Structure 1
Amino acid sequence: MTTRIGLLGAAGIAGAAVLLPVRRRDDVVVAAVASRSDPKAYASEHGIAHAYDSYEELLADPNIDLVYNALPPSMHADWTISALRAGKDVLCEKPFTMNARQARRVIAASTETGRRVIEAFHDHYHPLSAYLRGAVADGILGRITRVDAVFDGSNPYAPGTLRHEPQLGGGALMDLGCYPVHWVRSLFPGTPVVNAATATRNPSGADMSMRAELTFPGEVAATITCSMVEGVTLKSALTLTGERGTLLADNIVFPSSGHSIRLEIDGVPRLSTVAGRTTYDHQLEAVLDGLRTGQPLPTEGDDSIATMTVIDAIYQAAGFDRSRWE
């Protein structure tokens, strides 16, 4: 059985996230792309059979099984719901929606239609992330007292662009910080309390950096930081501190390009890595398996609502009024 994917938007991320992993498999194909700017050129460049000038045309194509939604976050909710109602399953890029209210609308539509919507936290499906979840579950550090999570990546302010306009879903927390939020949520169950948050802003009003202090049930303190300030060094890392020692994992978002796990237990240091393909290869495999078997995936349903709920709370604590940006 061949799964046929339709790209909703000719986004740059689609190359690494979908096109390349698809080419490494023989049970899936990117069959169509819809874009408001020269979809035929994009289709020709990437060997895609069908190109549509409107998103509606792609959703009406009966040959499309799975829609990849990489539109701006401000368009995620409405077009994901439209895809679900058109009988398609959806792989939706992060951040899932603009806020938790929209996320609940999307999940309600998924329930009503019986179609699946999966959030594209690709890193969650890599063995490195599985190792971290196992380390916490197995208690190798004893009781965890705090976790520090960071994702920084330089993205100089450019007015009118996706990552810098709040009404489009831009901002460091939406673009980068959603990853650390999801990491800590995946490690520690329950709804955290956001104790404080501070941000720097660009002239458009979006956050260029964010720092948030949270507490999870069990008195686990969490710090989440993210920055896209010009010149900041690319970094995605998580540090766990427990009664018996510490664990530092770096390059969580793209571990196949090189990462390390620095573990110290009872004063004894260890350095290791885990084997794996690209995060996008693991994600595609998980999505296809989940859709074919009917098994639920960890980045769908209530998980997406919970992540957006934490993001909403961080923005509120940092003094943002995001209601006008929906």
Structure 2
Amino acid sequence: MSDIRCSYELASGATMDVGYYTPHLARLLGGEQPQVVSARVQTLRSRPLIDRVMRAELVFHGRAEVRVSLWGWPPPSIAACVTGERGELSVLNFLAPHVYHRLKVRGPEDIRVERIGGRPPDTSQLRAFHAAVTRGAPVLTGAQDAVVTMGLIDDIYRVAGLPPRGNGD
């Protein structure tokens, strides 16, 4: 298989391909560094180090569930669920709001579902990068933040029983 998303040597797998964003979102919404309390993985039969599906539970003052997958059925998805004292926020497919997405807010009295249109996030990322390079605009997410999120992803791999990608050991 020549798909680069299936190469351990290239630090591939569902969590590395689309899964970075969900743990980062959990850190952002939770306001602190969560701990990984469980992680379940489905790997490719032909490549047992490559995660096709990853689910992880994170805890801090609330809890977050990370679910990422690539290929097959169910269709590729990325979702985040954050639960607090007064309710729950579920986000489905926030990486491709131009295709399909859902934001569900469950409070003590009701449930609200919203769909907010938008352009591909890559477009916004490219515009922010361009502004930083050409006009000196502030970088929204710096290198240190990325290092902390990657440490969390390494923890997810370890709890799931897989080695971290690259030099994460």
TM-score normalized by structure 1?
A: 0.45
- Paired letter, 1:290: A
Distance 1:260 1:322 in 2: 30
**1:214 and 2:23 correspond:** no
Aligned counterpart for 2:76 among listed residues 226, 234, 247: 234
1:131 matched residue in structure 2:
none
Change (3 A) 1:272 1:199: closer
Aligned counterpart for 1:255 among listed residues 72, 91, 97: 97
Distance 1:314 1:195 in 2: 9
Change (3 A) 1:231 1:302: same
- Paired letter, 1:214: L
> Does the 8 Å CA contact 2:6/2:12 hold for their aligned counterparts?
yes
2:85 matched residue in structure 1:
243
- Paired letter, 1:312: D
Displacement of 1:190: 2.6
Alignment map for 1:32-71 (pairs within 5 Å): none
1:318 matched residue in structure 2:
160
1:19 matched residue in structure 2:
none
TM-score normalized by structure 2?
A: 0.80
Distance 1:211 1:258 in 2: 21
Larger Rg: 1
1:224 matched residue in structure 2:
66
Distance 2:136 2:6 in 1: 38
1:304 matched residue in structure 2:
146
Q: How many residues align?
A: 165
Displacement of 1:275: 4.9
Distance 1:248 1:195 in 2: 19
Change (3 A) 1:272 1:315: closer
Runs of 4+ with deviation above 6 angstroms: none
Change (3 A) 1:280 1:295: same
**1:272 and 2:114 correspond:** yes
- Paired letter, 1:212: A
- Structure with greater helix percent: 1
Distance 2:38 2:107 in 1: 31
1:67 matched residue in structure 2:
none
Distance 1:178 1:274 in 2: 22
Displacement of 1:317: 1.7
Unaligned runs of 5+ in 1: 1-158
Distance 2:17 2:147 in 1: 17
- Paired letter, 2:10: L
Q: Name the SS for the 1:190 alignment partner.
A: coil
RMSD: 2.5
> Does the 8 Å CA contact 2:57/2:63 hold for their aligned counterparts?
yes
2:32 matched residue in structure 1:
190
